[in-house]
């Protein structure tokens, strides 16, 4: 399973009975092992504050594009930001009229 769950003794008994029905009654015991997802740097989500701090070193925090991206990160998460918005670049920002020109 992809997440840890708690099984009651009744649940374990029913699972054992189903396994015995399929694989034979010589199976007397089941060992339930909790799921442990390996954590690697690529799988690990950096917390939002650290991510935004790192992000602010790439873009000017006062820029419109930074504010748009910050909103997207907070609303939709880091993965959406990386996948969809990281490839986009602002060519020219009109700071007077607060517009991005692509």
E-assigned strand segments in the chain: 92-94, 99-101
What's the predicted TM-score (pTM) here? 0.45
Q: What is the pLDDT of residue 95?
A: 63
Indicate the DSSP class of residue 14.
H
**Eight-class DSSP state of 97:** T
Q: How many Å apart are CA 25 and CA 75, to the nearest integer?
A: 52
Bridge partners, residue 79, by sequence: none
Instruction: Retrieve residue 57's tokens.
Output: 């070193």
Exposure on the CB side of residue 62, measured as CA atoms within 13 A: 3
Tokens representing 75? 């609303």
- Domain coverage including residue 71: 48-101
* pLDDT (0 to 100) of residue 16: 92
Residue 3 lies in a domain: yes
Residue 42 in domain: no
Predicted local confidence at residue 5, as pLDDT = 77
Whether residue 87 is predicted with pLDDT greater than 90 in this model: the reply is no
Q: What pLDDT was estimated at residue 13?
A: 92
Quick one: 62 and 83 in the same domain?
Answer: yes
Residue 43 in any domain: the answer is no
pLDDT category at 9 given cuts 50, 70, 90 is: very high
Residue 6 placed within a domain: yes
Give the pLDDT band (50/70/90) at residue 14.
Answer: very high
Clarify whether residues 52 and 84 are in a common domain: yes
Residue 51, burial from CB neighbour count under 10 angstroms (0-12, 13-18, 19+): middle
Q: How many structural domains does the chain have? A: 2
pLDDT tens-digit series, residues 20-75:
999 899 989 888 777 666 555 444 556 777 888 887 888 888 888 888 888 888 88
């Amino acid at each position: 399973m992809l997440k840890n769950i708690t099984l009651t003794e009744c649940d374990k008994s029913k699972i054992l009975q189903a396994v015995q029905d399929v694989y034979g009654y010589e199976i007397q015991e089941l060992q339930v092992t909790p799921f442990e997802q390996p954590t690697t740097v690529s799988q690990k989500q950096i917390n939002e504050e650290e991510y935004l701090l790192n992000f602010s070193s790439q873009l000017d925090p006062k820029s419109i594009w930074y504010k748009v991206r910050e909103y997207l990160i907070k609303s939709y998460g880091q993965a959406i930001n990386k996948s969809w918005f990281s490839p986009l670049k602002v060519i020219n920002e009109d700071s007077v009229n607060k517009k991005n020109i692509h």
